Every structure is written in C-alpha cells, then in structure tokens.
C-alpha cells in the first residue's frame, strides 16, 4: 500500500469528490485535500437517487446508515404509468438479494451526510481551479485566488465543465439531448393522505414526469422532461415559471392525479440535458478523472451520482494496491480500464431510457415501448443494481497481477 504520507488532491467538493475523499482515506489510507470552487459545500435543492449499486459501496465505506437516515427508502416497487395513470409495469428498485434499495436524497442532505464523514480540515472552499500540470515533484494545481499546491496525484471530480479533463487531453463536445427538465420539491404534507411513497413515472406525448420521496418522506422530488431548444440559445439552466410547467401537462390527455400534484408546486427551475460521448482516456500520469468529469450522462437511469460513487470505490481499491507513489500512474490506468466500459454502457443506456420514456424514435410504437420497459426491469436489477464495484476491482487486480507475472 502507498504511504500514509501520500497526498492526493481532489478537485470538486460535490457528491463524487466527497465520496472519493472518504474512499481514498478509508480504503487506500492516503491523505486527501478537497478543493471546492464555491464558498460553501452545497447543491441545488432538488432530489437525487442513490441506487442499490451505490448503496453497496456506501455500506462498505461505513456511511450508509447516515445517508439512509437523511433520505427516504420507498414503500415498495416504483411504477411506470401511461399519461392517464394506467400501469405499464412496476419498477424493481432493489438488488436481487433485496438487501439494498433505492434511496431518495435531497441533494443538500447527501452533501451534508458525506461531508460529516470527512475531516473538515481537509476541505478548501473558494478554490476555483485555473491550471493543473505535471511537475518533477508531482502534480501542481493552481487556483484563481492565487493559491497553489503540489500533490502526489490529482483526481478531477469537477463535473461536466471539468478543467482537470483538459489536462488529461480530453475535450469532448457537449451533446444536447433535445430535452430540458423542470425540477424541484413539493411539501409532502400537502398531498392526499393516500399518496404512494414510491417512485412514479408518467409517460406520454414526447414528455414524462417523475416523482419520488425524499428526506424521510417530508418532501417529494419531481423531474419533468420536456422537448425544447431553449438551452441552445443561452444559459443551460435557470429559474422557471410554474405555469409553463403546468401547461406542458394540461388537458384531458394527462392523469388528473398528476395535474393535482403539479398544482401544488410553488417553485421550479429548468436544466438542459447534456451528456458527451465516452472519452478515449481518463488518466494521464498521476492525474485521473471521476464522476461527471469522466462520464457525464443523462439522468434517465438514475445512475449519474451512483456511478461517481462506484468510481470512488474502484479508484481507492486500485490505489490501495499500489506499493509506492511511483506506482500511482499504473493504478490510475488500471482504474480507468475497468471503469470506462461500465460507464460507457450506462451513458448509452441512459440515452435509450430517455427515448423510451418519451416514445421517441424506435419507441414511437407504444406497445413495443411498454414491452421493452417490462423486459428491462429485471435486466436493470442484474446488470446495474447487483454490480459490486469493490469486487469487480479486486477481480481485475487479480487478472492484472497474473499478466504481470506470466
């Protein structure tokens, strides 16, 4: 294992960067410093899903109980519905062993829960990265506030607009999906007493609406996907009028129950949905990428944050097997080799899931669309939720060692 004196700089204090800090400290035993450009840790007030495959990682890191207590585990399987609220199929948001289930998290609560597991002295706020470069003594990072430091290695968890990614030599073009989403939360006390505390997705006429519980069921998160070219003419996100969201789901073609829910919304924001094609490389020397910086994906499989959490476990596992700081570049190459295929598949799958929800392209035939969603239910459980990032990394290490000594 690398020395406890090994220093790793993590660029980005979001959910991926904080999980990486926990994993690198607890699994690899290295010193970490997290740099966050904002003046305080936090995320916009909306929901995120911690999927079973991510819960497995968080359990191994010893933080799952804290996260579950801050989130909301649904009452049972979610449902996919047509526009009028008729059942298409249920959604098994759990692994095959039924040990781990989806957890709905209010983003600020997830950030807070992760931050509580990290020594606050290791977090540097108000540090916007301006440059990262390899030097003889390691990797130098420089910030707009004039601060700089040199680390044995640097992990870029700095999102879709990653600066660290440029240092790896990757410059992907953002790909606009043709859709934006309205997002926000509703006070659950305003809902009817029999409102189901599960994930619900209404699908119809080139748009969809999802909701699920957060914060011990005190809040209900909503995400509404709408076709639009708005993000192509200016900002990628911004505040929105509730009336424009309501108009998208008005009329006799939509479930009155959904319209009742929308009538309770008092505030919403919009985001353009972008991703990028899979990168050809994640690492260069002692610099590597994690989370959205490496594999921005659409939200339709609920795997964006969960893949960053998987990345963190894999990265820590490979780094723990390095014997000294000079082995870090090889550890990073191995990490990227294992993670790139997994995340590329899920990037593609997230695009496909969006097309299914909105009856686009090959899914314009609703009977075929509904059949594919039913078939995908069990596949998602086995291929996505049952995945064990630590086990896969350990198996890969065994293969690498066999090749090395063959």
Asked if residues 28 and 393 have their Cβ atoms less than 8 Å apart, the reply is no
Within a domain: 223: no
For residue 129, the cross-strand partners are 143
- Catalytic residue numbers read 212
Within a domain: 259: no
Q: Which two tokens stand for residue 25?
A: 């400290």
What is the Cβ-side half-sphere exposure of residue 283, based on CA atoms within 13 angstroms? Answer: 20
* pLDDT score recorded for residue 403: 65
Within a domain: 217: no
Within a domain: 214: no
Say which CATH number the domain at 401 has.
Answer: 3.50.50.60
Within a domain: 238: no
Q: How many domains does the chain have?
A: 1
Q: Residue 109: is it exposed, middle or buried by C-beta count within 10 angstroms (0-12/13-18/19+)?
A: buried
pLDDT tens, N- to C-terminus, the chain (406 residues)? 677 789 999 999 999 999 999 999 999 999 999 999 998 887 666 899 999 999 999 999 999 999 999 999 999 899 999 999 999 999 888 999 999 999 999 999 999 999 999 999 999 999 999 999 999 989 999 999 999 999 999 999 999 999 999 999 999 999 999 999 999 999 999 999 999 999 999 998 899 999 999 999 999 999 999 999 988 887 889 999 999 999 999 999 999 999 999 999 999 999 999 999 999 999 999 999 999 999 999 999 999 999 999 999 999 999 999 988 899 999 999 999 999 999 999 999 999 988 888 888 878 888 888 888 887 777 788 899 999 999 999 999 998 876 664 3
* pLDDT score recorded for residue 364: 82
Within a domain: 129: yes
Within a domain: 233: no
* pLDDT score recorded for residue 406: 39
Show Cβ contacts of residue 101 under 8 Å, excluding neighbours closer than 6 positions: 52, 55, 73, 74, 93, 94, 95
CA angle 390, 18, 113 (to 5 degrees): 100
pLDDT in tens, 296-352: 999 999 999 999 999 999 999 999 999 888 999 999 999 999 999 999 999 999 999
Question: Cα(221)–Cα(44) distance, rounded to whole angstroms?
Answer: 12
| Domain with 83 in it | 7-173+276-405
For residue 32, the cross-strand partners are 8
Within a domain: 330: yes
């Amino acid at each position: 294992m690398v020395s406890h004196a090994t220093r790793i700089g993590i660029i980005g204090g979001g959910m991926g960067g904080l999980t990486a800090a926990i994993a690198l400290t607890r699994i690899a035993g290295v010193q970490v410093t997290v740099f966050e450009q904002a003046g305080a840790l936090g995320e916009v007030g909306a929901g995120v899903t911690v999927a079973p495959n991510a819960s497995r990682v968080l359990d191994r890191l010893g933080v799952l109980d804290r996260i579950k207590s801050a989130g909301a585990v649904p009452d049972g399987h979610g449902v996919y519905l047509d526009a009028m609220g008729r059942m298409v199929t249920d959604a098994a948001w759990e692994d095959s062993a039924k040990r781990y289930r989806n957890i709905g998290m209010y983003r600020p609560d997830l950030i807070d829960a992760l931050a509580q597991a990290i020594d606050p002295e290791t977090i540097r706020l108000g540090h916007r990265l301006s440059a990262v470069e390899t030097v003889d003594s390691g990797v130098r990072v420089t910030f707009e506030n004039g601060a700089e430091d040199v680390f044995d290695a640097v992990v870029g968890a700095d999102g879709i607009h990653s600066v660290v990614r440029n240092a790896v030599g990757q410059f992907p073009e953002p790909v606009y999906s043709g859709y934006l989403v309205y997002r926000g939360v509703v006070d659950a006390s305003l809902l009817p007493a029999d409102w189901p505390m599960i994930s619900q997705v209404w699908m119809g006429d080139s748009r969809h609406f999802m909701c699920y519980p957060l914060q011990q069921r005190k809040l209900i998160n909503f995400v509404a996907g709408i076709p639009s070219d708005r993000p192509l003419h200016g900002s990628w996100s911004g505040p929105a009028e509730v009336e424009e969201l309501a108009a998208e789901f008005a009329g006799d073609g939509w479930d009155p129950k959904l319209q009742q829910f929308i009538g309770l919304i008092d505030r919403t924001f919009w985001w353009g949905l972008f991703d990028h094609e899979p990168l050809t490389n994640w690492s260069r020397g002692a610099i590597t990428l994690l989370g959205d910086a490496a594999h921005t994906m659409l939200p339709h499989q609920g795997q964006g944050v969960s893949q960053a959490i998987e990345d963190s476990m894999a990265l820590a596992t490979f780094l723990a097997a390095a014997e000294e700081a000079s082995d870090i570049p090889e550890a990073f190459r191995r990490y990227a080799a294992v993670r790139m295929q997994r995340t590329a598949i899920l990037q593609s799958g997230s695009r496909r899931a969006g097309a299914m929800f909105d009856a686009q392209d090959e899914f314009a035939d609703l009977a075929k669309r509904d059949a594919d969603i039913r078939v995908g239910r069990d596949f998602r459980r086995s291929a996505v939720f049952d995945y064990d990032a630590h086990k896969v990394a350990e198996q890969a290490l065994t293969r690498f060692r066999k090749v090395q000594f063959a």
